[in-house]
Amino acid sequence: MRSMPDDDIRWMSTGEAARRLGVTVRTLYRLIDESELPAYKFGRVIRLQEGEVESFIKASRITPGDLEHLYPEAKKEISDSDGNDT
Domains of the chain: 11-83 (1.10.10)
pLDDT, one tens digit per residue, over 31-84 is 999 999 999 999 999 999 999 999 999 999 999 999 988 888 766 666 666 666
User: What residues have CB less than 8 Å from 49, skipping those under 6 apart?
Assistant: 9, 10, 11, 12, 38, 40
Q: What is the pLDDT, as a whole number, of residue 74?
A: 66
Cα angle, residue 61 at apex, residues 59 and 21 outer, rounded to 5° = 80
pLDDT surpassing 60 at residue 11: yes
Q: What is the pLDDT, as a whole number, of residue 78?
A: 63
Q: What is the pLDDT, as a whole number, of residue 69?
A: 87
Cα angle, residue 34 at apex, residues 65 and 20 outer, rounded to 5° = 70
